[in-house]
Chains A and B, each alone.
Chain A
Amino acid sequence: MPVPTPETRPYWDGCATGELRIQRCVDCGKPYFYPRPICPSCGSGNVEWFTASGDATLYSYVINHRPAPGFEDEAPYAIAVVQLAEGPRMMASLVGVPATPEALVLDMPLRVTFEHRGDMALPVFTPAEEKR
């Protein structure tokens, strides 16, 4: 289980309420992930939290056949990196979709959902309905 630090607490608090909160720079406007107190693009300390749309696309992944401790019942499972609509990328699990190369097509649209683990909630992603 993740152990939040002061810098990351708003992220985990957001997850617990079903919101994917990330940060952006007030000065240069660029959103970023993972949580940290300065903007990685321009170095400004003038940063703020906001709630991301929850939309993303599948950037890359592996399908893991050797489960980590605690994941024995889930193998094989996907470990993915998703690209948020706002730009930053993050690691995530994929749910509601078979862990097969046929089902997991790069750039497919995804939508955030939250998996509860004890007192915490973990953002994971699931295939989105095509928009428009």
Chain B
Amino acid sequence: MSNVGVIIAGAAETDEIGRLPNHSALGLHVEAARNAVADAGLAMKDIDGIATVSTPGPVQVAHALGIYPDWLDGTGIGGTSFLLHVRHAVAAIRAGYARTILITHGESGRSRVGAPPRRADPSSPLGQFEAPYGTLGPTTTFTIPALRYMKEYGLTHEQLASVPVAQRQWAAKNPRAMFRDIITIDDVLASRIVAYPFHLLECCLVTDGGGALVVTSADRAAGFPKPPVHVLGTGEASETPMISQMTDFTESQMFRRAGQRAFAEAGITTADVDHLMIYDAFAHVPIYGLEALGFVKKGEAGPFIADGNTEPGGSLPLNTNGGGLSYTHTGMYGMFAILEGVRQIRGEAAAQLDSADISVVLGNGGMFGSCGVLVLGKQPR
């Protein structure tokens, strides 16, 4: 396999995100795809590879777009799927299987228009061994490890609450963010308890929206209207289909493994990272991410965030679109994390950093189930 460089040449969200009852999930895929292809200055006929999650799937999305690609990836493992699509697209381009790959996301997470049912199959392991205990989606399962972490490492309720407080400061700079009013730790702790120890403001939004990427080889970088975003390193890993079977409730071993692989491929260390996106379905996930990627030692991420290091003006800008907690969260948020990394590298983010040469994006799928990590750069390696 050749080691040709790969870039993100097109990147866009749907025209609107938030509450979109007049858009189906498939319609959001199509709109995001058209926007991303236009952003790359291409026509739909230029696309020869497509990737999207298993529902609605690459066959349906390609057909809706009127294209007949020669490479397909239907990896559907939750919100991080799109990071894996990028990783797989890099491999496909290097192998010569495709030249210009479109990756799409569209989800009617809030309005549920043309959306698949949510219930677990009662004969699956999840349906047999977790669903009978009154679980109701990620709020009641993804959150379970947090109390164990709090006991082992002394994370306080106030430190956990500082995660949405920090991210809201970024969202306040972003007109597209759903929630933009500055909040305090007291506001978070006064919001209603959804699943103790999690308050409403420590849980992500539920929205409608979509996004898409066009990925191609770096030798074409000069031929696009926008500055290229180089994919410098990638990693993927799995851990568990059920939260009860997570190896250690105080750390995500899959975050660590995928991160190590991505950093090694890119030839970077944490000191090289200007900008960081960590999937934040709930307030504890960035804490697990910061520790697994090695930015801080175990047990230090809560104080690190509470001390302001990830806020505007801090040493490590984190979730600068406002994240799933304030910006948007369609259900499979990973595409939006990638798109914010792309915008920061291009210099077109709403809360643009002065310097963003290296952006790292960590995605989560399921309940600490699957992970993808991307290292994006302004320059090739």
Contact = CB atoms under 8 A, between A and B. Distances in A.
Most chain B CB inside 10 Å of its own CB: which residue of A3, A59, A91, A93: A91
A19 B193 CA distance: 36
Contacts of A92: 133
A61 B135 CA distance: 12
Contact of A67 (B134, B144, B243, B245): B134
Interface string A21-53: 000000000000010000000000000000000
B63 interface: no
A122 B131 CA distance: 11
Interface in A47-98: 59-68, 70-71, 74, 76-77, 79-81, 89-93
Interface in A93-115: 93, 101, 106
A3 B128 CA distance: 6
B128 A61 contact: no
B221 to A, nearest CB: 45
Most chain A CB inside 10 Å of its own CB: which residue of B123, B192, B198, B245: B245
A90 B192 CA distance: 28
A64 B195 contact: yes
Contacts, number: 107
B132 A122 contact: yes
B135 A2 contact: no
Most chain A CB inside 10 Å of its own CB: which residue of B129, B242, B249: B129
Nearest to A107: B151
B1 interface: no
B196 A62 contact: yes
Interface residues of B, number: 35
Interface string B117-147: 0000011010111111111100111011111
A12 to B, nearest CB: 8
A74 B132 CA distance: 14
B148 A59 contact: yes
Contacts of B196: 62-63, 65, 76, 101
A5 interface: yes
Given A65-B195, A89-B245, A60 B122 contact: no
Nearest to B129: A34
Contacts of A63: 193, 195-196
Contacts of B131: 2
A15 B6 CA distance: 54
Given A67-B136, A79-B140, A3 B123 contact: yes
Interface string B189-228: 0001111111000000000000000000000000000000
A63 B194 CA distance: 8
Contacts of B352: none
A62 B197 contact: yes
A62 to B, nearest CB: 4
Contacts of B54: none
A132 to B, nearest CB: 24
A6 B342 CA distance: 48
A68 B137 CA distance: 9
B244 A89 contact: yes
A60 B129 contact: no
Nearest to A101: B196
Contacts of B243: 81, 91
A30 to B, nearest CB: 14
A60 B249 contact: yes
A89 B249 CA distance: 11
Contacts of B245: 34, 89
A93 B131 CA distance: 11
Nearest to A120: B132
Contacts of B146: 60, 62
A71 B134 contact: yes
Interface of B: 122-123, 125, 127-136, 139-141, 143-148, 151, 192-198, 242-245, 249
- Per CB-CB distance, the 10 closest pairs between chain A and chain B, nearest first, are A63-B196, A60-B148, A3-B123, A2-B128, A68-B136, A62-B195, A91-B244, A71-B134, A3-B122, A68-B134
17 contacts: A1-B132, A2-B127, A8-B128, A34-B242, A60-B148, A62-B195, A63-B195, A64-B139, A64-B140, A67-B136, A68-B135, A74-B134, A79-B134, A79-B141, A91-B135, A91-B243, A91-B244
Given A60-B146, A64-B134, A65-B193, 20 more contacts: A2-B123, A2-B129, A4-B128, A5-B128, A34-B245, A61-B147, A62-B144, A62-B147, A64-B135, A64-B139, A65-B192, A65-B195, A65-B196, A66-B139, A66-B194, A79-B134, A79-B195, A92-B133, A106-B147, A117-B132
